[in-house]
Structure 1
Amino acid sequence: MNHLTRRLFLRFSSLSLLLSTAFSINAFAAEDIRIGISLPTQRDIVWVRYKQGLEEAAKKLGVKILLQVSDQDASVQASQVENLLSQKVNALIIAPHDASAASTLVERAHKAGIKVISLDRLILNSDLDLYVSFDNPKIGELQGEYLVKNVPKGNYAVFLGAPTDNNSKILHDAAMKHIAPLVKKGDIKIVTEQNIQEWQPSVAQRLMENSLTANKNNINAVLAPNDNTAGGIIQALSSQKLAGKVYVTGQDAELTAAQRIAAGTQSMTIFKDQGKLSELALKIAKDMAEKKPIKATHFTANGNKNVPSVFLEPIIVDKNNIEKEFIQSGFFKKEDVYKFVTK
C-alpha cells in the first residue's frame, strides 16, 4: 500500500467509525427513551383501548413505557406519578382522574424537568405542555345537533359525565349550542339536567328512572354523555317499554352501543379511534423527549393558559352508516354487531 492509498484508507476508516459511532448513539438514545403514563381506569372499554393502543404504539416506535392505572382514585394517581418521576422518565402522559387535582402533578413533573401531555381529558389550572385528544366540543355539537334534528320539540333529559372530568362540561356546553335556542323558543323543555358520578351506568339508570317517574314517562330525547351511561339509561327506558321510542345519544363506539344501534334502542354514537390517538400521543411524547419541536393545531383554555393542543376528528355513527364505519372498516364483526337482532 503506497503512502497516498494509506492516507485515503485511514480517512475513510475514521469516517466510517465516526458514522458508526453516531448511529449507535442515536439508536441507543431511541431505545433508552422512557415515557411515563398514568391512566385513570380500566373499568371502561375506552381506557382498555387506550392501554392497548399505547402498548402497541410503544413497540412500533421503539420506546419503553412505564404505565400505571389509578383505578379512579386521585390520590393513587398522585402517588403513581411520583413513582414514575422517580424512575427518571423522559416525558409524562397523564389522563387525569380529577382534572383539577392533577394540576399539582404537572407542577411536580416540571420541577423534575419533565414535560407533560394530557391525554383525552384536559388537566385544568396548570402550566400544561400539550393536550392531545379528540375534538370534544365537536363531539358535543354532533350529539346536540343530532337530537334537535330528530326531536325538534318535546321533553329532554340532559345528562353530564363525572363532575371531576372537564370533558363533561365541554360536551354539555357544546351540545347546548344546538339545544338551548329551541329551549328559549319554547319548543324544547329540559326536565332533567344532572351529572352522572364517575360515568357509572348504574347511576345513569337510577337518575333516568327518577326522571321517568317525575315526568310520568313523558320524555322524548336523552342527551347521554357516552355509551356506557347510555346503556344504563336505556335499561331504565326498557323497564317502561320505551326503549327505541326515545332518542338517546352516546359516544365511544363501544360494541354494546353498536349492538343497541343495530337493535334500534340507541340512536347514535361517536366513533373515536383510541388506538390512533394513543399512537399520536406517544409519538409526540417521544419527540418531546428528543427535544424536537411540536406543532399544535389548536389551543385549549384550561383556566391558567391556552394549552397547545392536537385533536383528531370524531365521526358520528347511526343506523345509516353503521355498516360502513363499523363493519366494512373491520372495526367490529358483523355477527357481533347484529348478535341480538332477531331476523
Structure 2
Amino acid sequence: MKCQLKCHYLTTSATALAFGILGVVAASAAMVSDAKVAFLMPDQASTRYEQHDHPGFVAEMKKLCPNCTVLYQNADGDASRQQQQFNSVVSQGAKAIVIDPVDSTAAASLVKQAQAQGIKIIAYDRPIPSAPADYYVSFNNEGIGKAIAQSLVEHLKASKVPTADVGLLEVNGSPTDAAAGLIKKGIHEGLEDSGYATLAEYDTPEWVPAKAQQWVSGQISRFNKKIVGVVAANDGTGGGAVAAFKAAGVDPVPPITGNDATIAGLQLIIAGDEYNTISKPSEIVAGAAADIAVALLSGETPKAEMTLYDTPSKLFTPAVVTADNLKAEIIDKMINGKPIQTAAELCTGRYADGCKKLGITP
C-alpha cells in the first residue's frame, strides 16, 4: 500500500532554515532575553500534547532562548478553562502565545484581545478562521483526511470488497475544532467517486473516544454487516470504533482509520484492529512554533509558504502508516536522534506476537 502523502519531515534546525530565521538565535539573546512565551494546548483526550508537543516546544525554546520562560497550560477540552488560562498567561506577562484552540470560533476573541495588547499570537495545529493570527503552523489537515480515506478505499478495493449494498461510517472530530473541519473536508474528497457509500457520519464532541464508541455502536445495530469500513478522524475516535465492534461481537473488525500515531493507535494496527494512522511527530510542528515565536518577538518576519484564513501559514506533510510500513516510519525513523516510538513501548503484553509478525523486536 503506497502512502498518499509523502513524508517531508524537517529537523528543528532544518525548520529554522525553512523559515529563513537562522539569525534569530543570535538576535534573540539581545532582543527576546527573558521573555515569557505561553503554550496553550486544547485537551488530554489525545496523549500527544503531553508526550510530544509540549516537550518539543520546550526543547526548541531552550535552544533559541535559554532565559525565556514557557508557560504551559492544557484546557482538557474546556473552552471556558482555556479562556481562563489565556487570561492567566496574559497577566503573567506573556509576550507571545501559541494556542491550539478548544473552540476555534471562540478563540477569535482571544486573538483580538492579545493583539490589542501587542502580544503575538500563533495558531497551532487548529486554525482560527474568523480572526487572523500572526502566524499559523500545523500539519496539512485537509491532506490528512484525504489520505486516510483514500488509503482505506485502496485497501478495500485491493481486498475485492464489493461496493453494492454496503458502505462506510465516517467518524469526524469535534464540531468546534476548525482543524477537524479540514480533516472532514479531506475525508469527503478522499471518498468521492470511491464507489463506497457513506452510510452515516458523526461529529464527535470534543473528540471524546467514548462518544465515538457510543455512536458507532448505534450504527452497528442499524446497519450491521453493511459496514465494510470506518473512516475515523484520529486514533481516539478510531479506538472508540474498534471498541464498539468488539463489544458487538463483530469478528473480524472492519478496517478502521486513525490519525496521530499514538501508542494506543499503533498498537491497534499491530493487533490488526486499526488499518491506518497518520505519523506526524508533533515535535516538528512544536519546534517550528518556537522558531516562529522567537522570530516574531525579535522583530523578524517568519517566511510563510501560504496564506490560510488571511494568516501567514506553514503546513507540514506527514505520512500514512499501515502495518506494512509501521516499522520503517515509526521504529526506524529518527526525529532529533530518537525514534518516533520504540519497540519496547509498542510491543508490550498481547502486542508482542503482532510485533514479531511485522519484524519488530524490542
Establish whether TM, by shorter chain, passes 0.5: yes
**Residue 43 (structure 1) shift:** 3.8
CA deviations on 1:254-305 (whole Å, 9 max, x unpaired) are: 111111111111101000111111111011001000011111112213xxxx
**Residue 124 (structure 1) shift:** 2.4
Which residue of structure 2 lines up, in the alignment, with residue 225 of structure 1?
A: 233
Total equivalences in the alignment: 312
CA distance in 2, matches of 1:336, 1:54: 22
CA distance in 1, matches of 2:301, 2:105: 28
Which residue of structure 1 lines up, in the alignment, with residue 17 of structure 2?
A: none
Which residue of structure 2 lines up, in the alignment, with residue 307 of structure 1?
A: 311
Which of 145, 149, 153 is the equivalent residue of 1:144? 149
Which of 324, 327, 336 is the equivalent residue of 2:328? 324
**Residue 198 (structure 1) shift:** 1.0
**Residue 56 (structure 1) shift:** 2.1
CA distance in 2, matches of 1:293, 1:168: 28
CA distance in 2, matches of 1:327, 1:90: 38
After TM superposition, the score normalised by the length of structure 2 is 0.81
Which residue of structure 1 lines up, in the alignment, with residue 84 of structure 2?
A: 79
Which of 213, 216, 225 is the equivalent residue of 1:208? 216
**Residue 165 (structure 1) shift:** 0.5
Which of 106, 131, 135 is the equivalent residue of 1:130? 135
Amino acid at match of 2:305: T
Which residue of structure 2 lines up, in the alignment, with residue 31 of structure 1?
A: 33
Amino acid at match of 2:46: D
Which of 114, 121, 125 is the equivalent residue of 2:119? 114
Contact 2:39 2:54 in 1 (8 A): no
**Residue 337 (structure 1) shift:** 2.5
Amino acid at match of 1:271: S
Which residue of structure 1 lines up, in the alignment, with residue 170 of structure 2?
A: 158
CA distance in 1, matches of 2:268, 2:117: 47
**Residue 218 (structure 1) shift:** 2.4
Which residue of structure 1 lines up, in the alignment, with residue 3 of structure 2?
A: none
5+ residue gaps, structure 1? 1-23
After TM superposition, the score normalised by the length of structure 1 is 0.86
SS in 1 for 2:193: helix
CA distance in 2, matches of 1:292, 1:211: 52
CA distance in 2, matches of 1:98, 1:114: 20
Contact 1:134 1:313 in 2 (8 A): yes
Amino acid at match of 2:212: A
**Residue 204 (structure 1) shift:** 0.9
CA distance in 1, matches of 2:268, 2:84: 39
1:46 partnered with 2:58: no
- 1:189-338 to structure 2, matched below 5 A, reads 189-242=197-250, 244-301=252-309, 306-329=310-333, 330-338=339-347
Contact 2:31 2:297 in 1 (8 A): no
SS in 2 for 1:319: coil
Contact 2:246 2:253 in 1 (8 A): no
CA distance in 2, matches of 1:325, 1:52: 21
CA distance in 2, matches of 1:180, 1:25: 49
Contact 1:202 1:232 in 2 (8 A): yes
**Residue 243 (structure 1) shift:** 5.3
Choose 1 or 2 for highest CA Rg: 1
Amino acid at match of 2:48: V
Higher relative contact order (CA 8 A, sep 6+): 2
5+ residue gaps, structure 2? 1-25, 158-162, 334-338, 357-362
CA deviations on 1:63-90 (whole Å, 9 max, x unpaired) are: 3212222222212212222222223322
CA distance in 1, matches of 2:86, 2:265: 33
Contact 1:129 1:307 in 2 (8 A): yes
Which residue of structure 2 lines up, in the alignment, with residue 60 of structure 1?
A: 63
CA distance in 2, matches of 1:84, 1:171: 30
- Structure 1 window deviating more from structure 2 (218-227 vs 78-87): it is 78-87
CA distance in 2, matches of 1:141, 1:237: 24
